[in-house]
Amino acid sequence: MSDKASDGALLRVEGLQGWYGESHVLHGIDFTVNPGEVVTLLGRNGAGKTSTLLGIMGILPRREGSVRFNGNEIIGLQPRQIARLGIAICPEERGIFASLNVEENLMLPPRIADGGLSVERIFDLFPNLKERRRSQGTKLSGGEQQMLAIARILRTGAKLLLLDEPTEGLAPVIVQQIGRTIAALKNEGFTIVLVEQNFRFAASVADRHYVVDQGRVIDMIPNADLQANMDKLHAYLGV
Amino acid sequence: MKRRRGTFRMFELLGIPPQVLLGQLLLGLINGSFYAVLSLGLAVIFGLLNIINFAHGALYMMGAFVAWMLLHYLGIGYWPALILAPLITGAFGILLERTMLSRLYHLDHLYGLLLTFGLALIIQGLFRNYYGISGLPYQIPDLLSGGNNLGFMFLPNYRAWVVVASAIVCLATWFIIEKTRLGAYLRAATENPVLVGAFGINVPLLIMLTYGFGVALAGFAGVLAAPIYSVNPNMGADMIIVVFAVVVIGGMGSIMGAILTGYVLGLVEGLTRVFYPEGSAVVIFVIMAIVLLIKPEGLFGKAA
């Protein structure tokens, strides 16, 4: 592990610890993400995957350790400052606003840099959203809400996307569509950290996998070696 | 023939000349205008800050006093005061929010209510101390003095202006909140401030400005009220009790609900004054009790 300010990694998390009140949920998370990569955090329920994303975003109430983005330490910053640097989150609960229509939800996150997708390109990727742009956000189907939650962070110019279980509870055909979207986003140059339970889906989109257990990263498996490590992975995930 | 006699008898029984009816409806509409602007401010503040702003009446009174002070100490008349007094009261609100309210957001609603109740007492006490309770006169601006005879009743120009001005302010507020990007930020932050912050939006700033805006609305109502009611330190305390009943009936958190309930209850109060004058002071509270029993979240409120 290097302690230089910049070593080519877009995101470098070292010894990240986190607490909700008295409850110590992250015990030292270490991982790196290189520009243009899709990296997953795999692990059982309650392993600390979502908390890791919240810790990176600055939402976790108390955190220690180091999170460097583009070489800059961001552990002490407010979520809105972190967002302004170019990190965007798509939360597990999707966070679609009921009092906003689809278009308002889509346009809500402010642009923080150039290079985000145009609204036309977003509607290309998600034609359903265009048809339903005047509907109340929470009147959409679960799959459409998930697409909206992803779509709205693509406009902003954020380079690093944190996607928390985008396939959870969705029909296979929608999961496939989200898989294609993630592949398309990788082609557009986005860097993605994906929290997943569905590792078959994870294997279809990711470059590398980090295994999280009890608030620590316990292993890293390149996607190419996934087949060879299947037994180990099954043991980790308890499936 | 029979029916005609029945109608006739009813009219006799009620014995209400149309002038009285329309006059009271106008009075109700004017009161309703104040209820609407004030309950709108309360609803906007409650939506985002989760604070029941008990100081709202005191800040309304302050708006009227600021207009009076601008005139008496600086010679600044009604029209500039209509802009300046809300800005000054709004700035005072921002000061309260920054120094005190912002420390309470992580606590229960009750603490905000207690703090703002205390603030209301202090603000009223200070004005009572310096200006007494007899009330200070504030002239109707020349442009709006006099009135028009509509045939069935005499309509004072200033009262017509109050109705129009408050309707414009209510609609403009509704438009900003429901139809603009800033309003979308506000609605989103009302639902999920953490996520809105994680998108890079400055939620504390939004909260501060929202409180300032809600207070400015109260200040604006105060300036409108100054030429009608005499400017006195208790004018807010009398008003705020009714406005809270209006808000309970309408349901916290609905913008259009707050506006409509304000106007409708003003009219209901006016009608009661015609048909059963003894009940006019309590009719809103009776309605409040009924609404609380049947639909506790309020007519336009969302069930918790």
pLDDT tens digits for B202-222? 999 999 999 999 999 999 999
- Cβ contacts of B181 on chain A, cutoff 8 Å: 107
Residue B19 has pLDDT above 70, yes or no: yes
pLDDT tens digits for B136-163? 889 888 888 888 887 777 888 999 999 9
Residue B251 has pLDDT above 50, yes or no: yes
pLDDT tens digits for B20-64? 788 888 889 999 999 999 999 999 998 888 888 999 999 999 999
Tokens representing residue A195 in the block = 């929290």
Alpha-carbon gap: A118 to the closest alpha carbon of chain B (Å): 18
As for how many domains chain A has, the answer is 1
Alpha-carbon gap: B157 to the closest alpha carbon of chain A (Å): 39
Check if B187 contacts A (Cβ < 8 Å): yes
Low-confidence ranges of chain A (pLDDT < 50): 1-6
Residue B14 has pLDDT above 70, yes or no: no
Q: How far is residue B235's CA from residue B135's CA, in Å, rounded to a whole number? A: 9
Give me the residue from B194, B197, B199 closest to A108, CB to CB.
B199
Residue A217 is assigned to a structural domain of this protein: yes
CA atoms within a 13 Å half-sphere pointing along the CA-CB vector of B17: 5
Q: Residues B49-74, buried b or exposed e (16+ Cβ, 10 A)?
A: bbbbbbbbbbbbbbbbbbbbbbbeee
Backbone angles phi, psi at A75, to 5 degrees: -60, -30
Q: Determine which of A17-31, B61-75, B84-98, B105-119 has the lowest per-residue pLDDT on average.
A: B105-119
Give the CATH number of the domain where residue A187 resides. Answer: 3.40.50.300
**What per-residue confidence (pLDDT) applies to A194?**
95
Q: How far is residue B296's CA from residue B304's CA, in Å, rounded to a whole number? A: 10
Residue A6 is assigned to a structural domain of this protein: no
Residue A132 is assigned to a structural domain of this protein: yes
Give me the residue from A78, A91, A108 closest to B184, CB to CB.
A108
**What per-residue confidence (pLDDT) applies to B51?**
86
pTM for the model:
0.87
Residues B219, B161 contacting (CB under 8 angstroms): no
A196 phi-psi bin (left φ>0, alpha ψ -120 to 50, beta other): beta
Check if A104 contacts B (Cβ < 8 Å): yes
Residues A148, A102 contacting (CB under 8 angstroms): yes
Helix (H) or strand (E) holding B201: none
**What per-residue confidence (pLDDT) applies to A152?**
94
Alpha-carbon gap: A228 to the closest alpha carbon of chain B (Å): 39
Residue A115 is assigned to a structural domain of this protein: yes
Residue A189 is assigned to a structural domain of this protein: yes
Residue A134 is assigned to a structural domain of this protein: yes
ipTM surpassing 0.85: yes
No. of helices (H) and no. of strands (E), chain B = 12, 2
The residue range of the domain holding A69 is 11-237
**What per-residue confidence (pLDDT) applies to A239?**
61
Give the residue carrying structure tokens 């976790």. Answer: A60
Q: How far is residue B65's CA from residue A11's CA, in Å, rounded to a whole number? A: 57
Residue A2 is assigned to a structural domain of this protein: no
Residue B4 has pLDDT above 70, yes or no: no
Residue A19 is assigned to a structural domain of this protein: yes
Q: Does residue B199 sit in helix, strand or coil?
A: coil
